[in-house]
Amino acid sequence: AQSVTQLDSQVPVFEEAPVELRCNYSSSVSVYLFWYVQYPNQGLQLLLKYLSGSTLVKGINGFEAEFNKSQTSFHLRKPSVHISDTAEYFCAVSNTGTASKLTFGTGTRLQVTL
Amino acid sequence: KAGVTQTPRYLIKTRGQQVTLSCSPISGHRSVSWYQQTPGQGLQFLFEYFSETQRNKGNFPGRFSGRQFSNSRSEMNVSTLELGDSALYLCASSLATLTDTQYFGPGTRLTVL
């Protein structure tokens, strides 16, 4: 079984500042890793995913994440945030041996202010 | 291309009733997954259907069931509703496997009174 820990439930940040949202996972097998964003009253939108290959993954809206196998982490970063980035961010993991069964973290609320 | 659609968007039921939620995937997508989102438990995987067959199942009681039709549309059913079933139910579709991007619908907000 896998699990995901998002260490911060809320992250306040000023506009144009950098941000890092932390995600650690636990699994006894190889995994795929994902970051999703959820805007108020909307479904989830995929930001980026790590399947294999380069450990630095670039996604939409200027976000990127780095897969660190030794630290079992997949932190999400953005060098300069905008007000419009205010949303809930979810880290998720799946077993590479199975099909569509995502295990999600509890989410991090990113609050961007002026 | 139209996105994933879910109907209805909002639903109010009373304890003991049953409910059916519908999900229409993006055209060409054959995999449909269902998730329950609650403030206390977060996002939890319910089940996944591919080509009308349940391919994966989460840890939910048998009151939660689903099915997929030949056109890939999916329904999920919850029988004997409990207060704790109040949640946002999200549907996601993808072409075939998990490596394909999953696209989520806006969800159905179920309130059980």
Give chain A's mean pLDDT. 92
In this complex, do B94 and A104 lie within 8 Å of one another by their Cβ atoms? no
* pLDDT 10s digits, B5-55: 999 999 999 999 999 999 999 999 999 999 999 988 899 999 999 999 998
Residues 6+ apart with CB under 8 A from B49: B31, B32, B33, B55, B66, B67, B68, B74
CA distances, B35 to each of A18, A29, A89, B103 (Å) = 31, 23, 16, 12
Q: Kindly indicate the confidence band of residue B106, based on its pLDDT and cuts at 50, 70 and 90.
A: very high
Q: And the tokens for A86?
A: 């205010």
Has residue A11 got a pLDDT over 90? yes
In this complex, do B31 and A42 lie within 8 Å of one another by their Cβ atoms? no
Has residue A61 got a pLDDT over 60? yes
- The answer to whether the beta carbons of residues B45 and A2 sit under 8 Å apart is no
- The answer to whether the beta carbons of residues A23 and A106 sit under 8 Å apart is no
Name every chain A residue with its beta carbon within 8 A of the beta carbon of B31. Answer: 99-100
- Positive or negative, the CA dihedral B109, A43, B42, B72 is positive
Q: And the tokens for A4?
A: 């995901």
Distance CA A47, CA A113 (A): 21
Name every chain B residue with its beta carbon within 8 A of the beta carbon of A50. Answer: none
| R_g of chain B computed on alpha carbons | 13
| Region A46-54 average pLDDT | 91
* pLDDT 10s digits, A84-101: 999 999 999 988 766 568
Q: Which residue of B has its CA nearest to A100?
A: B98
Find out whether the peptide bond into B8 is cis, omega within 30 degrees of 0: yes
DSSP structural state of residue B95: S
The contact set of A with B (CB < 8 A) is: 32, 36, 41-46, 49, 51, 90, 92, 94, 98-107
* pLDDT 10s digits, B54-81: 988 999 999 999 999 999 999 999 999 9
Name every chain A residue with its beta carbon within 8 A of the beta carbon of B50. Answer: 99-100
Q: Which of A44, A49, A94, A100 to mutate to test the interface with B (most CBs of B within 10 A)?
A: A100
Q: Which residue of B has its CA nearest to A48?
A: B101
Which residue type does A95 have? N
Distance CA A84, CA A37 (A): 12
